[in-house]
Amino acid sequence: MQKTTYFYFVTIIGWMVTVASCKQIAKNNNANSAQETITQDSLRYPGEKHLRNIRQLTFGGNNAEAYFSFDNSKLVFQSDYKKWGVECDQIFVMGIFDDTRRNRPQMISTGKGRTTCAFFLPGDTLILYASTHEGGDACPPVPERPEGKYVWPIYEDYDIYVADLQGRIVKKLTDTPGYDAEATVSPQGDKIVFTSMRTGDLELFIMDIDGNNVRQLTNTLGYDGGAFFSPDGKQIVFRASRPSTPEEIDEYKGLLAQGLVQPTEMEIFVINTDGTGLRQVTNLGKANWAPYFHPDGKRILFSSNHASKRGFQFNIYMINVDGTGLEQITFDSVFDAFPMFSWDGKYLVFSSNRHNNGTYDTNVFIAEWVE
């Protein structure tokens, strides 16, 4: 899940990129540069005015939750790409200019179990991520959909680990029964926010960077997850379900008892890091998730299917923290999600089904951000 177990969505778009012709340029190197820019812009759909020079970074499998190193030179992400020798999501690191078609990125996770939700620690020499590998070497089974419902598994073997760039685990940060995952780090590098089942429901917790001083942030029935800090480290944005009717509550509790959540009704919330000031940002209906603060701390990017009649068309939107000023950022016909800004605010990385040659592949893309 987004930070969570990985999501699967259907794709219907072709991958062939139409390359416009270059203007005549005297020097070959300038011509090549111009041609490269045109190719990158061809990955952008009409209306995507905030994105420029989009580049595709992965080319097969399901690749998601790509997050920048603090120096903005690398990305850590999860992938199930079979050609890289994995059977389910594992954690990889790549440079933002690496050619992943020729060289497999460095795998950071153990290759055992299933992983999710990786993030760099300050200094960019260590990475935290969640893994089920202590519960078994094999990938845990993907659950069947009860009564045809779309569900996410909440594997109880997930715990949060810290590893170096060679994949050696140097510390285990959580060791409680049940799900611990979806961890991210504050911009100041002093705190970690994560989702845990340790109280019997999926709530947000915060802890020091070394795993000490764990505090519970949320305590309302429903799934709270996918949390990220604001640029000043004083607020946290997250996605949440809020079952309210007796029927919704019974359904939520029944699925949770099976290690499942149904993510089809979620909204975006913000809370202060001391647990005060909880407020709902969106009220759009359907699934609103994968939130991330804009570098100005006043706006939030997130993924949503609220405007889709088919349900599975997700695009990235931007909204003010007070819930006003909703603006659509991407215009893919299938799936765009997991936006993250580089720490300097110059780039946006996201996952998309665009240009995947009619496959189910979800790939990582990076673009220059334009205000």
Task: Summarize pLDDT for 125-173 with one digit per residue, the tens.
Answer: 999 999 999 999 999 999 888 888 999 999 999 999 999 999 999 999 9
**Are the CB atoms for 186 and 234 separated by under 8 Å?**
no
CA distance 215 to 191: 11
pLDDT value of residue 69: 98
Report the CATH superfamily, name and number, of domain 28-369: TolB, C-terminal domain (2.120.10.30)
pTM higher than the cut 0.85: yes
Element spanning 206, H or E: strand 203-208
Q: End-to-end alpha-carbon separation of the chain, Å?
A: 29
User: In the predicted model, is pLDDT for residue 36 greater than 70?
Assistant: no
pLDDT at 52 over 90: yes
Q: What is the DSSP string of 224-291?
A: EEEEEE-TTSSEEEEEE----SHHHHHHHHHHHHTTEE-TTSBEEEEEETTS---EE-----SBEEEE
Provide the pLDDT for residue 131: 98
Range from 37-41, 64-68, 115-119, 232-236 carrying the lowest mean pLDDT: 37-41
- Model confidence at 40, pLDDT cuts 50, 70, 90, reads low
pLDDT higher than threshold 90 for residue 216: yes
Q: Where are the alpha helices (DSSP H) in the chain?
A: 28-41, 246-257
Q: Which residue has the higher pLDDT, 26 or 97?
A: 97
Indicate the pLDDT class of residue 15, thresholds 50, 70 and 90: very low
Does position 340 have pLDDT exceeding 70, yes or no?
yes
Give me the long-range contacts of 346-351 (CB less than 8 A, separation at least 24): 346/72, 347/68, 347/72, 347/96, 348/50, 348/51, 348/301, 349/57, 349/66, 349/67, 349/68, 349/75, 350/66, 350/316, 351/63, 351/64, 351/65, 351/66
Higher pLDDT, 71 or 26: 71
Its sign, for the CA torsion 52, 57, 63, 67, is: negative
Q: Residue 24: what pLDDT?
A: 39
- Assess whether pLDDT exceeds 90 at residue 358: no
Q: What is the mean pLDDT of residues 229-249?
A: 98
Residue 327: CB atoms within 10 Å? 13
* Mean pLDDT of the region 103-116: 98
Q: Residue 146's pLDDT is what? A: 87
Q: How far apart are CA 113 and CA 129, in angstroms?
A: 13
Neighbour-count burial for 206-238, b at 16+ CB within 10 Å, e otherwise: bbebebeebeebbeebbbbbbbbbbbebebbbb
* pLDDT confidence of residue 311: 78
- Is pLDDT of 297 > 70? yes
Take residue 240 and report the two structure tokens written for it.
Answer: 């949440």
pLDDT interval class at 242 (50, 70, 90): very high
pLDDT-above-90 percentage for the chain: 85
DSSP class per residue in 158-184: -EEEEEETTS-EEEE---SSS-EEEEE
Report the pLDDT value the prediction gives residue 244, as an integer from 0 to 100. 96
DSSP 125: S
Contact between 131 and 113 (Cβ < 8 Å): yes
Average of per-residue pLDDT values in the chain: 91
Query: Percent of the chain at pLDDT above 70?
Result: 89
What pLDDT was estimated at residue 145? 86
- Give the pLDDT of residue 1: 53
> Per-residue pLDDT for 3 more than 70?
no
The answer to whether 316 touches 303, Cβ cutoff 8 Å, is yes
